[in-house]
Structure 1
Amino acid sequence: MELEKFKGLHVRFFGKELPEEVTASEEYEAYVDAIHEDEACYNWATAEKLKSKGFDYESFCCMMMADKVYGSLDEDGEIKYDEPEVIINKWDEDLYGIPVHNGSATMVVINYCPWCGTKLSA
């Protein structure tokens, strides 16, 4: 999908309670597909979301990493250790890890981004 068209659909659909006739439309389906299948659309939409939250996404290797790290933080910016939906954490020391959801704060430290393959700072 052309990015400009996606931006227009994003304004119409994002963050709104939409009736079923809208969510069942081909236009809405194309919008959702673009988020999942078009890197430019995903990157733009994610950057907009993270900007609106005041999150410094530009310091990350890719938008997926920035989005997943953002999702690992609570409203105070602290790591959510006991949240099963968290799939990656970043510590102040530029260490990244994948949480082991076993009731403790166990992590598997990683050296490369799981999404773009960039070597992570250590």
Structure 2
Amino acid sequence: MDLERFKELHAYFSQKDLPREALESAEYNAYSDAMHENEDCYNWATTEKLKKKGFDYQNYCCLMMADNVDSSLDDNGEIRYGAVDVIINKWDEGLFGIPIHDGGTSMVLINYCPWCGEKLKK
């Protein structure tokens, strides 16, 4: 799927409360596949999402890191400790860590991005 067609579908499929038929359509499947398999589509959609939220994604080594750090924060910008869907955290000191989901706040500190391999800057 080309990026322009993806953008058209994104305008429709990113709405809230879509009818079930829309989510079960061949177009939705193509849109979803493009989001996961086409780097241009993923990058565009992720950039749009982060811009809309006001998240400063440009200070990260890659969009995947920015997206996952954003996902680790609550509505107040605080780390969502204990949320099992969080896979990476960033502290104000510039440290990054992978949470250990054992009911506590333990983390494994990391020095390199798990997605692009770049050395993380503090």
Q: Hey, what's the Cα distance between the residues in 1 that align with 2:107 and 2:24? A: 40
Does residue 1:80 correspond to 2:88, yes or no? no
Does residue 1:99 correspond to 2:112, yes or no? no
Q: Summarize the alignment of residues 55-66 of structure 1 with structure 2, pairs less than 5 Å apart.
A: 55-66=55-66
Q: Hey, what's the Cα distance between the residues in 2 that align with 1:84 and 1:36? A: 22
**Residue 91 of structure 1: CA displacement?**
1.0
Partner-residue secondary structure (3-state), 2:92: coil
**Residue 106 of structure 1: CA displacement?**
0.6
User: Which stretches in structure 2 are left out of the alignment for 5+ residues?
Assistant: none
Partner-residue secondary structure (3-state), 2:121: coil
Partner-residue secondary structure (3-state), 1:42: helix
Partner-residue secondary structure (3-state), 2:22: helix
Aligned to 1:7: 7
**Residue 50 of structure 1: CA displacement?**
0.9
Identity of aligned residues (%): 63
**Residues matched between the structures, number:** 122
**Residue 21 of structure 1: CA displacement?**
2.2
**Residue 22 of structure 1: CA displacement?**
1.8
Which stretches of structure 1, 4 residues or longer, exceed 4 Å deviation after superposition?
A: none
Does residue 1:121 correspond to 2:121, yes or no? yes
Partner-residue secondary structure (3-state), 1:45: helix
Q: What TM-score does the superposition give when structure 1 sets the normalisation length?
A: 0.94
Partner-residue secondary structure (3-state), 1:98: strand
Aligned to 1:17: 17
Aligned to 1:38: 38
**Residue 15 of structure 1: CA displacement?**
2.7
Compute the RMSD of aligned alpha carbons: 1.1
Which amino acid is the alignment partner of residue 48 of structure 2?
E
Q: Hey, what's the Cα distance between the residues in 2 that align with 1:73 and 1:23? A: 27
Q: Hey, what's the Cα distance between the residues in 2 that align with 1:47 and 1:63? A: 7
Q: Hey, what's the Cα distance between the residues in 1 that align with 2:60 and 2:120? A: 9
Q: What TM-score does the superposition give when structure 2 sets the normalisation length?
A: 0.94
